[in-house]
Amino acid sequence: MSLRKPSEPRKRLPSYIEHGSLTAYTSYECRCDDCREGIRLYNARRREAARRLSQAKARRRVVG
C-alpha cells in the first residue's frame, strides 16, 4: 500500500518549459509523474554531492 498521492494530470506549461525539469516542478507546481521523477533525481544528486563534499572535507582535516 502506497502513501503517495496518485499522480496529478500534466499541467499545461509554456512551450519552452519541459515536464521533468526543476522549473516545471517548482515554478509551475506541476506534480505529474515526470516532474516528480525529475525532482527526485535532482535531490538524489544534490545529496550525493553534499555527501562527497563532506567526506572530502573530513579527509582534509585528518590529513592536513
pTM of the model: 0.74
32 falls within a domain: yes
Residue 7 in domain:
no
Amino acid at 23: T
In a domain, 4, yes or no: no
Q: Is residue 12 part of a domain?
A: no
Q: In which domain, by residue range, is 47 found?
A: 22-63
Residue 28: count of CB within 10 angstroms of its CB: 16
User: In the chain, how many domains are there?
Assistant: 1
State which amino acid sits at residue 37: E
16 assigned to some structural domain: no
pLDDT tens digits along 7-58: 778 888 999 999 999 999 999 999 999 999 999 999 999 999 999 999 988 8
DSSP string across 13-48: --TTS-TTSHHHHHTS---SHHHHHHHHHHHHHHHH
What is the predicted pLDDT for the residue at 63? Answer: 60
Task: Answer yes or no: is 31 within a domain.
Answer: yes
With respect to residue 17, please indicate whether it lies within any of the assigned structural domains. Answer: no
> Does position 1 have pLDDT exceeding 70, yes or no?
no
Residue 40 is assigned to a structural domain of this protein: yes
